[in-house]
Structure 1
Amino acid sequence: MSGTITLTRRSGFQLRPRPYKVWIDGVAVGRLPHNGAAEFAVEPGDHLVELSLDGMYSKKVTVAVREGGTRRLHCGANGPLAFTAFGLLLPGLAIKLTLTH
């Protein structure tokens, strides 16, 4: 039996409303649309989740998934300067990814 990682992305300040690329354990597994959600089946255990877009990325978040369980994360731009020159200088600060449950 597997578990689930669910990601949500609300609209808000987003200069780049294109989908974020979703990475789990270093593998690109799909996309997360602007103002949308995505769900990924994973084996039970610890997983590293990261998002990217145009060379910018979130910090990696470790998620412990139980068998049959769901872990939820929320993401968005890390403030109005995230996708400006500031984001290019510090690409790891552009996307905010937070474990919510």
Structure 2
Amino acid sequence: METEPDGIIAVRRVGGGKRDFFRAYQVLVDGAVVGRAKRGQTHTFTVRPGTHRVQLTIDWCSSPELVIEVAGGQVARFVCAPGGGRDRGAVGPDRAGEYIAFGPDTDEA
């Protein structure tokens, strides 16, 4: 019996901007920290095929949590950056889940 190949979650952090310039975002898959995303870097994480929860955090702030389906052999690509516009520096507790923008990466690999 053949086993289905693993899938990959790729997280790319954009390189521009001033906020969090020297800081890394923690990458969580299914609630566990699997790595850190620094500006201008792309990281890949191997996962079993199926449904996964992916989120980025820094201090008490985060991105929205994405629930994704990853097939065997698939590379699911995502991009992150500081959330909000240029005029939004500090984020209050009511917007802590929007501090990091996070979503599908539509740029070509």
Common fold by TM > 0.5: yes
Bigger Rg over Cα: 2
Quote the offset at 1:12 in angstroms. Answer: 2.1
Equivalent positions of 1:59-74 (< 5 A) are 59-74=64-79
Quote the offset at 1:21 in angstroms. Answer: 0.2
Q: Which amino acid aligns with 2:92?
A: L
8 Å CA contact 2:16, 2:39 repeated in 1:
no
| Match status 1:21 vs 2:26 | yes
| Match status 1:77 vs 2:77 | no
Equivalent positions of 1:13-52 (< 5 A) are 13-17=17-21, 18-52=23-57
C-alpha distance in structure 1 between counterparts of 2:92 and 2:15, whole Å: 22
Moved over 6 A (4+): none
C-alpha distance in structure 2 between counterparts of 1:36 and 1:8, whole Å: 6
Quote the offset at 1:63 in angstroms. Answer: 1.5
More strand by share: 1
C-alpha distance in structure 1 between counterparts of 2:17 and 2:8, whole Å: 28
Quote the offset at 1:77 in angstroms. Answer: 0.9
C-alpha distance in structure 2 between counterparts of 1:21 and 1:43, whole Å: 20
C-alpha distance in structure 2 between counterparts of 1:14 and 1:60, whole Å: 24
Unaligned runs of 5+ in 2: none
C-alpha distance in structure 2 between counterparts of 1:74 and 1:44, whole Å: 20
Q: TM-score, normalised on structure 1?
A: 0.89
Quote the offset at 1:13 in angstroms. Answer: 2.1
Q: What's the secondary structure of 2:92's corresponding residue?
A: helix
What is the RMSD computed on CA atoms of the aligned residues?
A: 1.3
Quote the offset at 1:54 in angstroms. Answer: 1.6
